[in-house]
Chain A
């Protein structure tokens, strides 16, 4: 059902945990749908120095969170905002069709955390002009 990479990131998730004094925090999904992802960012000089995640959800939700955090760690904000769910799926070696929404959640969680950072620092991030985290609150039931 899952690729070896998905199972590896599920069994040994990278960047798990809570972050004190994060510069940006984003949470998407809801309990009703069975998926919640929370992303914490430490940003310095427009670079994502550290990232942590906490996820409630199935195996592919945990693996998608883990892979997404790996893909943006050490990258610039501009690069992170460009991260698509397709890139997460590719890096995982594929997801079953019914699990694609997990990768979408990961993308949205990162955008949500970047949005939070932009709000806190009064910055404008290119690519997030039309992003509304409120829309993402109910995200997940797909």
Chain B
């Protein structure tokens, strides 16, 4: 049996050992309800939450009071968009987002359309970058929210967040960014980048699943999301998942500590993998931006073959990856992100995303390139295309 190579770190990451250690005691030692402040067990739980809140706040240059824990990235996206839309509907009913957002944003906007809200979906270029002029031209007097993802989960393209923030600020429009995939891979500074709302998730950075956070800039008008007790300053009720929050805090602490070293290493691996594939496999298309992309993201389309077949053969070699092919999504169309970059359906069906981690070595990259070369050549022999 070959070594297992997990190259799907954009889907989720392995929980770090230090994170598991940090979480452990909140199950059966420090198990108090953080709302029970009159005894020590409760106060200890509350302390753990506030310590984690500070870690998350510091990592994105926010104030602790501006961080609210949620159940994850999708919840944060839902809250940001619905919360702003309903709280500001007296000002307007127009939202601007992009064609390449995560479905947590796209489907929330579609849902709001039932309530009379209107959405403009910005185009992207072949690299997945939005056009700032198109953004400016899309702004109307009734625009209340701009939501543009920090970095794309499929193709890794990083948007010009600071410029978008400036434009939103000039027009007095609330700016939300889905930074779920960007956290840990790009420097986030909510003040410098003029961000009003930001969604993040723990499990993309070595934390547990089921926990995320939203940054809400002080003064931003947004509805409360879960009505109930006074947790999270009354905005997001429900007894806190203390162990998950503590784990999230630890994961962020580690990500902050090793930021440069970690990302420099990933960029080195990324470059080696991109160059290796280009040099060894003909008729490939790099999806996403050549350089302005997440350090761990490599996404290529392999012409004349289909992604699911590639994934099955990769799995036989112990390699886990993902594809934008329709066959892997259960839908009729390939990835909406790849189609938005102008890729034709056939080429989009043949896309494979590798997302790296620091457990991967340079030798592993050589193995991936050689394995891909063999798989693509084999599937092309079976394919009737390009003959």
A→B interface (CB under 8 Å)? 2, 7, 10-11, 13, 16-18, 27, 31-38, 54-59, 61-62, 98, 141-142
Contacts and interface: CB of A to CB of B under 8 A. Distances in A.
B338 to A, nearest CB: 12
B325 A58 contact: yes
Contact of A56 (B304, B316, B326, B334): B304
Nearest to B312: A59
B327 A58 contact: yes
12 contacts: A7-B312, A10-B309, A31-B349, A34-B325, A34-B327, A37-B384, A54-B383, A55-B382, A56-B306, A58-B308, A61-B306, A141-B332
B366 interface: no
Nearest to B305: A56
A31 B345 CA distance: 7
Nearest to A99: B327
B345 A56 contact: no
B345 A32 contact: yes
B382 A27 contact: no
Contacts of A38: 384
Q: In which size bucket is the chain B interface?
A: 20 to 34
Contacts of A142: 332
A34 B387 contact: no
Contact of B383 (A32, A56, A98, A141): A56
B1 to A, nearest CB: 16
A34 B309 contact: no
A56 B325 contact: no
A125 B347 CA distance: 37
Contacts of B384: 27, 36-38, 54-56
Nearest to B384: A54
A96 to B, nearest CB: 10
A124 to B, nearest CB: 28
- Which 6 residue pairs are nearest across A and B when measured between Cβ atoms? A31-B346, A54-B384, A58-B308, A58-B327, A38-B384, A34-B349
Given A33-B332, A34-B326, A56 B308 contact: no
B325 A16 contact: no
A10 B312 contact: yes
B385 interface: yes
B25 interface: no
B211 to A, nearest CB: 29
Given A31-B345, A32-B345, A36-B384, A58 B309 contact: yes
A55 B381 CA distance: 9
A129 to B, nearest CB: 28
A57 B346 contact: no
B116 interface: no
